[in-house]
Structure 1
């Protein structure tokens, strides 16, 4: 049987067909092997057993699980065949419904999506279900089965509706309260779900200085938490190894009504930054600094992408980073009245003050270097020779302005320098030389 299972991934269709036929005729033995393989994919594979995308199993999977597109196809094929066997063999189906394994009971429930005639039986079997998660899943299947029965109009709606109502009442016993105002109202089951990643923060709302945070449970329900409950939930989940910064970030950065809670939330986030995903860690640290919290971690910024790193840059300078201060001073210099893209226009002014300004900007502002050197070239300022190699290496904005200046204010010394840069493999210099030669300004 194991050989037949592994043949399900063979590229030859005939081989796969023979293996499927062998397994479907293999009875309880084949079913047992298929379940072992299917279990590798987890319970969401069982929820996908029904197949068609319009089925109730897909609806339940979307509500309760995060689908993983990178998972192996073998467990999916195994669960499909196991579900087909359950629907064709009543004895096997009833054995699965009474199994000690929650996975098999869940598989039997999901497989009923394929055959409407088995759905009342499947829901009835869930009345004594001991697993809280399966009881919640059963309510979702019951709702979906009932809607489908209404569309079919085959007389099964009443029985399914009755089963759905009973399962909903049983599910209420395992649901956490949908709102927590005082920390003492926090349910242990919700804390456990947060610690295990089965529930997660899902945003917040604020009205009249009253903030409410939302937690989304795995069964699709949303629980509203007051700031005090959110702080208590974070502490309790963190004690069990679960860290959801979304419970505290709104408190630490957006809440203004309770400074004590705000400070406590910021302290915890700063303390637990190592538990935040690496790609969000630095940005969260920056947000905390800007919100006025003490953060031991030093915020870093990308000096080459300041347009998208302004928060990190400001946080870094607030932490006393001298490099950040120097970068900000440079930004102030580079964002004065003359736009970096228009620096080349200084060349038309022709005054010493304009030349000095262009020279300073060329030295300080990498993104405007080519335009500033263009101004110096146009004014035939000797400092252009000193900065031309840098302008060619750090091209920046307004390359065409520099080409035009070289064309209109060309000197033999500029030509010599361009040729030397070209000989060193500088592509921009090569382009400029070709341009000047094509215009008959530089001799071939």
Structure 2
């Protein structure tokens, strides 16, 4: 297993993301060997002066001889150099990228040798800023932020595990999904908001309202238009390389706006209020579920009452949900196995998702669940990494017992915790 603190890592591109990776790795591993390439002499000079990197060199020389190579260039630049890299990197060099569009990178990767593809792990950190360049980079940019890895059946578990540990070491939470799911999700949650921010500012400029708006604008406008301060050239590339997914979500957005316009013309206050209430309720639910302290273990116990009315007959077909006990065991066994494990009919319940999250925290890359399918890149019996925080088992006694057995045989200490009900069990 590659020891990160003793590794040589090459970074192509010292902008916001590449610079932040370099700063984060230097902070975490003071003796690590970092070599970088950037077209801006200013970026490399500053990085050398503040001792973030040990050396700078040409793209070709950086790619040669490093253990890990990180492509932190704009998407089209990454695509352009992928074809050159197989002839430059060592056979066992692990390569990853940070592009926010994965399909275009994956297409470029398909034309490379199989041995190269096995060592290439597609990745994307969900972190950033409207600022750009090395001067905006930070050693804490990725702390508690999600990083998405999108490996496929050709990617080696060694390469996936290496990149997972790299991101894990600098504070990120690693999740996995397919290339298509990534691009569809990012089109809706990142690319479209940037496009709308640029659009709003340009609409106001064309109406000669820019100065007045910015003079009297409240915080809402400043927050919404903040994304328009992002790097225009970079985002033009992102929009073009993920055009099909952005077009689809943009069509849906335009349709929704047209509906709102019709309600305005009809002066239909009640329907507008209903539409806005739906959005408010949905946002509140997702914020509480994913970002609020209310989702912490001590606040997870929820009582729900259901009323089932009798029926004379049932007609149709139904799909029996997966088994919770087997789902727990599938995640555990797949994680400590060697190779790739595919699980189908996984039960996507709170307890099983806690087990899945626990193994992600211990360095296992897991794609899904997506419609009951989970793909696990096993790290082997001794490949689990020390968790950075207590592992939450929620309300699952099964997971608590099984995990206690697995973790008791590891070389590191760990803490298992659960909700109030589980904690009170004998």
Bin of the TM-score, shorter chain as denominator length: under 0.3
Greater C-alpha Rg: 1
- State the TM-score, normalizing by the size of structure 2: 0.21
Instruction: Flag the structure with higher helix content.
Output: 1
By relative contact order (CA 8 Å, sep 6+), the higher-ranking structure is: 2
Whose strand proportion is higher, 1 or 2?
A: 2
Structure 1 length-normalised TM: 0.20
